[in-house]
């Protein structure tokens, strides 16, 4: 069976995602669309608005055949690591194609770009080293690197989706049998766009509407099941975890905090001070933010703190990556049955206590996600893949 | 000036405490009554129902002249350590007498007992070693030790106040110039007694009434100021910290938990399991309890977990004990002025950032206590001793 992968977060699932799944199937001619989806904590260091099982269900009723969870250690990461995780899982599933959204206006050749990076890694790194302490942000620095080394690419790293596309291309080029890439131009709504258009709106705009109790105004940009889920299930934001994060920051010694993944340069003192003086996550972030730390980087660090994640645990997770199945359609199940013996990573359809050590970060982050609201169901043990007929 | 010490918790302050302060003055003929009082976390591993500054104020308006805080590292401890801390601070203040409550029916001579222990420490320890793994609780074991070595004492370690009295006596006997001891028989209400008598009720009964919204029924056993405080200030119990304790237990790895003071024998696994399955502190405790761990011992462990206290920090606090003044009357202030140069431990009247390391556990536990309710005021920085004229 021919398969096409997509790497997603669905925070929440909307018409643009449905379109993405449909186009992935059409453009690649695949029999099966496989979504590698972040779990309960997301790339930009946020808890998901709706839990992962519900989001998987929404995807499976709207064009996706198989949902595999992207482990925390890859999901809550900057673009390159996030992409490395997604691509790794899709390759382990022997996926032949990858379809991803892009805001890029030019008709850029992602495969060419991937090969350029692969063949010029040393030069890129050298140039990056010479400019990296110039006070610019990482996206600005990478734009500068490519402006000098590969001017014809006209690359701009300032759009999140575009950056992800570039990361997918780079990572994919490293494999012996790279997937065929299908970039898909976004229709109407850009990533940071907060307007609601006719049938499409960005996830950012949708979350904003949900948290302002304006769900009624965005029903047309959402599949029916998602509207029902958002109306009836707890919708989760960072504020749900603020008392816990504040407690964690205040109760930890600075040497405890220094053990947290990515905690460096003395930022732990700043976080502790900001926590003491804040009574919401929003004010905490505003107080903690510096020019050196982007909002997203800081939010990711807050997620590591909340989940008490250590470097060793991230490395351990990378070294024991699994394919955890969140759900499938009949077609997705057929695909899994066919591919079962050729998979290059272990498949999990049920989290058992025997996987406690290998899945430590994932199990813990799911348990902590559950503390965000009393109505969130158990996320780990006793859960089986969702089956959509 | 002649001084008499009392070692107290005031959870909350009631008529029995007022009587204790009055009798301490009368029996000893002291000019000044000094209370060494637990801070925001108490001997039995509980948060105080009212914050320490308010409790100090209540004491100073009801017969106490000077309130000194017993540091967390001594306060949240079994009787012997608690007593060692209280006696240490009183000796550092050159206090000449100690008055303490007792439930003991016999006219026991505490000073004789203290000297007996001092002179027979080796025999007591040897006998304790031979019986300590017999499945009895610690109080039962100590009762057995003294039944065999010192039968005429008729000692019974089953009453909390009596045990404290014995601990004070033992500790006091170790000093070159021991304080004169004034045991005071409790009137009417026993420690565990949950009835409300005419003018006296145990703190346990009072807390029970407060948390059942029955403050009106106990006003006659409380000084007026305490009634007003309990009616207008947040009253705090373990349940206020339950979400934080649950988060702490779930977010910690077992090796994190093994660093917590007094965490041993694999109890960390039991605590984590109980936390996952509980939605209140009460159910957590019921699930975690075993025959081996008394309720109080487990509650103390929960307090160490909540406050993220490590062995090293307790030792550090013991090695840097201070006399932190919570408040005084004019008489108390006069005493401090007179004694200032003879004090054998450093006096603190204001917690400054320079004391951050030495007071780490105390500062942290105060900050965490504050998380129990949004109306609890800052407990550390910028607070000055309460002055009652």
A163-183 pLDDT tens trace? 899 999 999 999 999 999 999
Tell me, yes or no, if B377 comes closer than 8 A to chain A by beta carbon. no
CB contact under 8 A, B256 and A308: yes
Average pLDDT of every residue of chain A: 92
Same domain, B176 and B244: no
- For B119, the enclosing helix (H) or strand (E) is helix B110-119
The phi, psi pair for B92, rounded to 5°, reads -65, -25
List CB contacts of B48: < 8 A, sequence separation 6 or more. Answer: B9, B10, B11, B38, B39, B40, B41, B42, B55, B236, B369
The answer to whether residue B282 sits within a structural domain is yes
The answer to whether residue A33 sits within a structural domain is yes
Same domain, B199 and B254: no
Looking at residue A232, what is its pLDDT? 96
Q: Which residue has the tokens 């919204």?
A: B213
Across the interface, of B251, B256, B371, the residue whose CB is closest to A246 is B371
Partners of residue B311 in chain A, C-beta under 8 Å: none
Q: What is the dihedral of CA B63, B65, B71, B72, to 10 degrees?
A: 20
d(CA B174, CA B176): 7
Looking at residue A150, what is its pLDDT? 86
Poorest-pLDDT segment among B36-45, B61-70, B118-127: B118-127
Tell me, yes or no, if A279 comes closer than 8 A to chain B by beta carbon. yes
Selected residue with higher pLDDT from A185 and B92? B92
Closest CA to B48 of B189, B227, B234: B234
CB contact under 8 A, B251 and A368: yes
Both tokens assigned to B370: 């504050």
d(CA B284, CA B272): 10
Residue A17, exposed/middle/buried by CB under 10 A (0-12, 13-18, 19+)? Answer: buried
Same domain, A96 and A171: yes
Q: Is A45 labelled as part of a ligand binding site?
A: no
Domain coverage including residue B123: 3-232
Categorize the per-residue pLDDT at B150 as very low, low, confident or very high, splitting at 50, 70 and 90: confident
Tell me, yes or no, if A246 comes closer than 8 A to chain B by beta carbon. yes
**Each residue's pLDDT tens digit, A3-29:** 999 999 999 999 999 999 999 999 999
Looking at residue B109, what is its pLDDT? 85
Both tokens assigned to A166: 């570039």
d(CA A69, CA A52): 8
Both tokens assigned to B129: 């070693």
Contact, A31 vs A1, CB < 8 A? yes
Q: What is the CATH number of the domain that holds B81?
A: 3.40.50.620
Across the interface, of B276, B364, B374, the residue whose CB is closest to A251 is B364
Helices (H), ranges, B277-329: 281-288, 295-306, 311-319
Same domain, B22 and B56: yes
Helix, strand, or coil (residue A151): helix
**Each residue's pLDDT tens digit, B279-335:** 999 999 999 998 888 899 999 999 999 999 999 999 999 999 999 999 999 999 999
Selected residue with higher pLDDT from B58 and B389? B58
Average pLDDT of every residue of chain B: 92
Same domain, A166 and A179: yes
Tell me, yes or no, if B342 comes closer than 8 A to chain A by beta carbon. no
The answer to whether residue A211 sits within a structural domain is no
Categorize the per-residue pLDDT at B157 as very low, low, confident or very high, splitting at 50, 70 and 90: confident
**Each residue's pLDDT tens digit, A68-95:** 999 999 999 999 999 999 999 999 999 9
Tell me, yes or no, if A255 comes closer than 8 A to chain B by beta carbon. no
DSSP string, A219-252: GGGS-HHHHHHHHHSPP--GGGGHHHHHHHHHHS
What are the C-alpha distances in Å from A145 to residues A101, A120, B109? 23, 12, 85
Strands of B45-167 (E only): list them: 66-70, 97-102
Same domain, B217 and B161: yes
d(CA A133, CA A123): 17
Domain closes at, from A312, A339, A374? A312
Distance from CA of B313 to the nearest CA of A (A): 10
Partners of residue B306 in chain A, C-beta under 8 Å: 251
Distance from CA of A15 to the nearest CA of B (A): 36
Same domain, B266 and B154: no
Looking at residue A198, what is its pLDDT? 63
Contact, A362 vs A111, CB < 8 A? no
**Each residue's pLDDT tens digit, B369-379:** 999 999 999 99
Mutation choice for A interface testing from B251, B273, B310 by most A CBs within 10 A? B251
The phi, psi pair for A375, rounded to 5°, reads -90, -5
**Each residue's pLDDT tens digit, B180-233:** 999 998 765 555 656 555 678 889 999 999 999 999 999 999 999 999 999 999
User: Is the predicted pLDDT of residue A48 greater than 80, yes or no?
Assistant: yes
Q: Report the number of distinct structural domains present in chain B.
A: 2
Looking at residue A265, what is its pLDDT? 86
The answer to whether residue B198 sits within a structural domain is yes
Looking at residue B78, what is its pLDDT? 94
Domain closes at, from B312, B328, B347? B312
**Each residue's pLDDT tens digit, B167-188:** 999 999 999 999 999 999 876 5
Q: Is A101 labelled as part of a ligand binding site?
A: yes
Across the interface, of A247, A306, A308, the residue whose CB is closest to B244 is A247
List CB contacts of B291: < 8 A, sequence separation 6 or more. Answer: B135
**Each residue's pLDDT tens digit, B246-287:** 999 999 999 999 999 999 989 999 999 999 999 999 999 999
Q: What is the dihedral of CA B52, B54, B58, B63, to 10 degrees?
A: 50
Same domain, B261 and B225: no
User: Is the predicted pLDDT of residue B106 greater than 70, yes or no?
Assistant: no
Same domain, B190 and B218: yes
In chain B, what percentage of residues exceed pLDDT 70?
Answer: 95
Helix, strand, or coil (residue B184): strand
Closest CA to B299 of B267, B266, B341: B267
Looking at residue B287, what is its pLDDT? 96
The answer to whether residue B372 sits within a structural domain is no
The answer to whether residue B19 sits within a structural domain is yes
CB contact under 8 A, B247 and A252: no
CB contact under 8 A, B279 and A374: yes
**Each residue's pLDDT tens digit, A105-133:** 556 788 888 999 999 989 998 998 888 77
Q: Is B228 labelled as part of a ligand binding site?
A: no
Same domain, B165 and B50: yes
Same domain, A343 and A229: yes
Same domain, B38 and B96: yes
Both tokens assigned to B315: 């030792």
Q: Which residue has the tokens 């499976």?
A: A60
Q: Is A223 labelled as part of a ligand binding site?
A: no
CB contact under 8 A, B252 and A308: yes
The answer to whether residue B11 sits within a structural domain is yes
Looking at residue B158, what is its pLDDT? 73
The answer to whether residue A213 sits within a structural domain is no
Domain closes at, from B280, B312, B344? B312
């Amino acid at each position: 069976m021919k398969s096409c992968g997509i790497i997603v977060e669905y925070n929440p699932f909307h018409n643009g995602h449905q379109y993405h799944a449909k186009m992935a199937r059409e453009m690649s001619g695949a029999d099966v669309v496989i979504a590698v989806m972040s779990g309960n904590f997301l790339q930009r260091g946020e808890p998901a608005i709706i839990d992962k099982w519900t989001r998987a269900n929404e995807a499976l009723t709207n064009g996706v055949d198989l949902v595999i969870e992207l482990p925390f250690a890859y999901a809550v990461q900057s673009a390159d690591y996030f992409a490395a995780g997604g691509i790794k899982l899709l390759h382990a599933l022997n996926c032949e194609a990858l379809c991803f959204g892009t805001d890029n206006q030019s008709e850029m050749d992602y495969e060419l770009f991937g090969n350029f990076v692969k063949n010029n890694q040393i030069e890129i790194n050298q140039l990056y080293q010479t400019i990296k302490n110039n006070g610019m942000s990482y996206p600005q620095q990478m734009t500068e690197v490519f402006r000098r080394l590969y001017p014809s690419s006209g690359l701009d790293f300032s759009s999140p989706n575009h950056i992800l596309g570039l990361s997918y291309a780079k990572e994919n080029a490293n494999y012996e049998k790279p997937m065929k890439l299908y970039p898909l131009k976004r229709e109407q709504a850009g990533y940071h766009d907060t307007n609601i258009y006719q049938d499409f709106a960005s996830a950012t705009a949708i979350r904003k509407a949900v948290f302002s109790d304006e769900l009624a105004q965005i029903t047309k940009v959402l599949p029916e099941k998602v509207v029902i889920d958002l109306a009836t299930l707890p919708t989760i934001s960072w504020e749900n975890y603020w008392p816990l994060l504040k407690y964690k920051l205040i109760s930890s010694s600075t040497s405890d905090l220094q053990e947290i993944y990515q905690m460096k340069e003395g930022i732990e003192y700043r976080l502790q001070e900001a926590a003491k003086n804040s009574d919401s996550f929003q004010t905490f972030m505003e107080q903690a933010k510096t020019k050196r730390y982007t909002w997203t980087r800081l939010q990711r660090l807050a997620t590591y703190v909340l989940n008490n994640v250590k470097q060793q645990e991230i490395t351990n997770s990378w070294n024991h990556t699994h394919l955890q199945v969140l759900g499938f359609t009949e077609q997705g199940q057929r695909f899994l049955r066919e591919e079962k013996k050729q998979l290059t990573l272990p498949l999990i359809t049920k989290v058992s206590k025997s996987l406690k050590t290998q899945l430590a970060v994932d199990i813990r982050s799911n348990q902590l996600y559950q503390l965000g609201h009393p109505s969130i169901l158990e996320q780990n043990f006793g859960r089986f893949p969702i089956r959509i007929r």
